[in-house]
Structure 1
């Protein structure tokens, strides 16, 4: 049975790439909302967004941050990472900048979104528990194949690290 995971990402820049990863089908992700649906949630305020995130993370073992060019700087991605860690969920990141977008373009590699977080009373780096992967491949298809062939083991490794 496929693991249930939550995808965290920057919708405006990466929704096409995220759909590509989601369609691999190796893990079960939450339904992706449209830009209009998310804007409707945002209009209700920060609490509504936080409640939506909490509701969609419920019952998920792992949060997968799909890392595009600007993902690490996004307010709600940061919130999702913190909420996931505080909720005991496993975390991992996958760079998706070399997958093609709707227009057939790749983008610049983004920063590690876990790199600015420290956790616990001893302020250890979150990167101790949250690995990031930069999939191999000379083109979008190669990157896709690397993700497809490894995403399940990456999720299992994240769960093991979170222990």
Structure 2
């Protein structure tokens, strides 16, 4: 079954890494992706202000069933990533974290990994805060993301029913 996946990441630091992951995803059968925009288009939206970026994020999340957060050095500290996580959780998307810090960027460099702890994404039905660290976290390099991404998506959809 085709899945519409929203990719969340820190644009300035990890767009090259995100393109590698996203491109591996869209070459597989029965997949559909969202959440990627090229630099010029992103800069144009960003110049229109915070609300324009949030509208674009909301539009991209529409129809998605999974949000994949591509984790680099500062990802979970970024305000738009936090917004994407909160909106994803509120709309019932399955959420997955994937460390991409070991992938090289355009300059051939890797980065450090951010902490997955202390990043709230919303509240559950009991009113308890749900943190990002409660979702499945993988490593693109160590866990063979190219081969396993599809199974991670299906597992998340089947186990994260709220």
Cα distance in 2 for residues equivalent to 1:55 and 1:14: 22
Shift of 1:129: 5.5
- Normalising to structure 2: TM-score of the pair? 0.86
Matched ranges for 1:83-98 at <5 A: 83-98=87-102
- Decide which of 77, 80, 95 is 2:81's aligned counterpart: 77
Spell out, residue by residue over 1:61-116, the C-alpha distance to the aligned partner (whole angstroms, 9 max, x if none).
1000000011010000000000000011111110000011111111111121x642
Cα distance in 1 for residues equivalent to 2:140 and 2:21: 12
Question: Structure 1 residues 124 and 32 mapped into 2: Cα distance closer, same or farther (>3 Å)?
Answer: closer
Residue 48 of structure 2 corresponds to 44
Residue 17 of structure 1 corresponds to 17
5+ long unaligned stretches in structure 2: none
Q: Do 1:129 and 1:161's aligned partners in 2 also have CA atoms closer than 8 Å?
A: no
- Return 39-48 or 116-125, whichever deviates more: 116-125
Secondary structure of the corresponding residue to residue 89 of structure 2: helix
Residue 140 of structure 1 corresponds to none
Cα distance in 2 for residues equivalent to 1:50 and 1:70: 19
Shift of 1:38: 1.3
Question: Is structure 2 residue 59 aligned with structure 1 residue 59?
Answer: no
- Decide which of 17, 28, 34 is 1:30's aligned counterpart: 34
Spell out, residue by residue over 1:104-158, the C-alpha distance to the aligned partner (whole angstroms, 9 max, x if none).
111111121x642152243143347521112454xxxxx6xx0011111111121
Give the number of equivalent residue pairs: 155
- Normalising to structure 1: TM-score of the pair? 0.85
Shift of 1:54: 0.8
Q: Do 1:9 and 1:65's aligned partners in 2 also have CA atoms closer than 8 Å?
A: yes
Question: Structure 1 residues 70 and 127 mapped into 2: Cα distance closer, same or farther (>3 Å)?
Answer: closer
Secondary structure of the corresponding residue to residue 73 of structure 2: coil
CA RMSD of aligned residues (A): 2.0
